Structure 1
Amino acid sequence: MAWATGSRGPGGRVIVLEDSRHVGEVREMLDTASGDRHHQIFVPGDRMDLGDNLVGYGGSFHECDTEASLGDDFYLQVQNYSITQYVSVIGPTLVRITDEADFEVWLGDADTAREKGEFAEFLANPALLVADLPGLGAPLDGAGPRHRLYVRAGGELTVSPYGSALGRLGDDLTDLEAAWQQANAASVHPCAVTLAAALPETVRAVELAARPWLGEYLLAVDALRELRSRGVLRVRASGFGGRLRPENDAVEPARTQARQLVLWTDESAYLYTADGSRLFELNRAAAELAELLLCQGSVEAAAEYAPRAALLKVQQFFERAGVSL
């Protein structure tokens, strides 16, 4: 999941090989990296007992309308984004942006959610994940070669199947990191590497820059999937088709990466956090105050619309829980 989505995993580097003949070269590259001893290498092959840090897989993690398998127990369907709405999700499914057509459909779904509060139904399925999120506006926490690598059959090294090449087998890992940093430094909207083989960078960067709320959108999709897994349906997300408090409708929160989001149903309300995917169930009044704090940016600004003491109480509750609103 961490490798496919580009999110921060539990630790270490995940490497996926297209060709098992490169195992030795990959191990040599890792052995020369100072302190780099925590990694997992996925290698084509049906056998699962390939030795330390090696996992055999069947099929493909990048070809759409196919599947990848781990042993006889786990099968991952791989689909491109634009057709996923037309197929049945019957098990774990990875959805990829493979070209401009996929990207346009993805943007259209995001725009509809922002304007009307209507999210594409398939995105809330707990069995489905969208790949390469840093190329779509997510944080870069797990995007780079420190966390994930993809080794093409020809020996090119990148971070994802649709990423631009950062180097080749035999290159030093620090050089790969430097190449990734350089590509992003030249981009208006990092990550410029993850989807570079699928989309022109000028198209991707312009569209993402026009939608500074895409980080919130991806957070909302995560939250909807989490709530669906708990049987919670017909959920609204703050900032998408409206907010709980009308005074927040015209407010655009400070554009650091979105880390918390308020959601609600007719019966209850929730605060979802990006850090650790934590979910808090709240009453309506507390959720309104949390939304005020997130939208207004501080207790002082929010106090124009609600009692300061109540705002402080909500803020301090979340601080004790390790969440900074």
Structure 2
Amino acid sequence: MTINETLAQYSDWAFESAFAVLVLAFVLLVIQYASTRARAVQVREGAEEKELVAAGGTSGSDGTAATPGRVAEQPRRTLADRFGGMGYAVLVVGTVLLIASIVLRGLSTERFPLGNMYEFVAMACAATLLGGLVLMAKPAYRVLWVFMLVPVLILIFLAGTVLYADAAPVVPALRSFWLPIHVTVVSVGSGVFLISGVASLLFLLRIRYPKGAEGASVFGRLAERLPDALTLDRLAYKTTIIGFPLFGAGVILGAIWAEAAWGRFWGWDPKETVSFIAWVIYAAYLHARATSGWRDTKAAWINVAGFAAMLFNLFIINMVVSGLHSYAGLN
């Protein structure tokens, strides 16, 4: 199997460009997030003015009477709107570049690009970004991208530095049709779980600092710009419902591949064990989410525990603990 060095170089450039573009998107969305409070004040003032106009009262600062039934002027786009729109557009470009880097890596090596940690993390981050663009398409969710991009940027940075691997063929054990099936499902499920975990963390923050307690601390000032707790809880639940069967299917497909490759479905390999534990934790979250008395903060903490187990499985198990998955360039 030959390596197309030109395509491999293009893949690396696309990956680096994606990181730079996503950093720019993050900066623009941070500006939007910081401007959200001023926008909320303007919206409230506009609503009060409309009430006065409808009632025939005064609407101007000079106390002049408004004409009853007069149509209020459409408000101009605020600073938050402009920066939010730019940030969202740049975010889409960064997502496209990251996906392009994955496709070019596969074309350069003539194999499915999921043979090492670098490629796995790139695929998981692409799944997070693409899933977020679909599941958080409503403008109300746009402020959440500030928090979603933090772990994504950290993972992309680690993938491009600590975890980077040159484009090369995989070892014979991975030359199987199970590779694109099993690892793709697991990586996509992991990417969706990242959205769910961040949503639950933000839900807990919103519960801790509800409206009226915004000025208590830095965390309170961050929380006041978030959507309401119910919206965040629904996002976490919706994404877990999507990620849970995907990740579970990945675990089952991995067991089938293990039987074909190693002659057994299950061998208590560290990677297998922690993946199964993480899946059970998410099952517990879904059960708690449907159980009276556990639906709010208790269920959210279980979801956060599942998110922590996924990160532990990705870094500690893959990079520190030796196991049967080590040959894949995972530690």
TM class by shorter chain equals under 0.3
Provide TM-score, normalisation by structure 2. 0.27
TM-score (norm 1): 0.27
Q: Which one has a larger percent helix, Structure 1 or Structure 2?
A: 2
Rg larger in 1 or in 2? Answer: 2
